[in-house]
Amino acid sequence: SKDIDAIKEKADNLRRNWKYAEAIPLYEDIIKKQTFTLGENHVDTLDTRHWLAHCYSKQNDYQKATPIFQDVGEKQAFTLGENDEDTLNTRYMLARCYYDQNDYQKATPIFQDVGEKETFTLGENHEDTLNTRNWLALCYYQQNDYQKAIPIFQDVGEKRTFTLGENHVDTLNTRYWLALCYYEQNDYQKAIPIFQDVGEKRTFTLGKNNQDTLHSRYWLAGCYYQQKDYQKAILILE
């Protein structure tokens, strides 16, 4: 109805401007109306609930966000199909909630499944596919499973270089995590050239005092320090 559309537009605008606390009661009001007029399984009702959960997650209120994403994902899988973009998007957000709560056990299989389905529906080079797979690799990294993380970071890094360019912030981010994996495995020979390259490219794109630039340089110095090459470590940290 026009009434619902008007409120939804207002809520969406608030959400886009990061005014989550103001958007939430509007979304809740719309959901009541949609549930009554359209039913709880209707695609529009589910869409509104997705955005309500999105607002909660942005406020770090995972207690509220998680069960909504879970329920909406199940209902969307039933009504739209498990390969539908909206279904996958909701399940991705559910996995992100688990990740942000350090619950990597629960996040990992969801990222894995969503990544496989996105590869199938969107293609292996699609930015959503690569983003999901990057989060999967981060899950493995956080669980110290570098054997599984490395080939994914490697592959995503190569595909992002190809699709986004070698200086893109996402490409550099993936390669930074790849280097961290090598560092954690004490494989400084492999970590050093990546930290070096990422540091230079970040200096160029983000500036030399940017936090991400400094992080890459700090870990590069750490590599030299671990190799007892103190001269090089000191030069970087100066």
CATH of residue 211's domain is 1.25.40.10
In a domain, 169, yes or no: yes
- Could you tell me if residue 180 is inside a domain? yes
Q: Please check whether residue 65 is in contact with residue 37, taking contact to mean a CB–CB distance below 8 angstroms.
A: no
The torsion angles phi and psi of 29, rounded to 5 degrees, stand at -65, -45
Q: Tell me the torsion sign for CA atoms 23, 26, 32, 33.
A: negative
The answer as to whether 106 is a domain residue is: no
Residue where the block lists tokens 């200096």: 203
Report how far residue 96's alpha carbon sits from residue 119's, in angstroms, rounded to the nearest whole number. Answer: 19
Say what the pLDDT of residue 238 is: 84
Domain contains 218: yes
187, two tokens:
């494989």
- The reported pLDDT for the residue numbered 197 is 98
Residue 92 near residue 121 (C-beta atoms within 8 A): no
Q: Please check whether residue 90 is in contact with residue 73, taking contact to mean a CB–CB distance below 8 angstroms.
A: yes
Q: Does 216 map to a domain?
A: yes
Determine, yes or no, domain membership for 204.
yes
Print the domain residue range for 204: 165-237
Q: Is 96 within a domain?
A: no
Amino acid 153: pLDDT: 99
Let me know if residue 18 belongs to a domain.
no
Alpha-carbon torsion angle 113, 144, 151, 107, nearest 10: 10
pLDDT for 177: 99
Burial of 162 (0-12, 13-18, 19+ CB in 10 A): exposed
Q: How far is CA 88 from the centre of its chain?
A: 13
Question: Total structural domains in the chain?
Answer: 1
Q: What is the mean pLDDT of each run of 10 residues along the chain (238 residues)?
A: 91 97 97 96 97 98 98 97 97 98 98 98 98 99 98 99 97 99 98 98 96 96 96 91
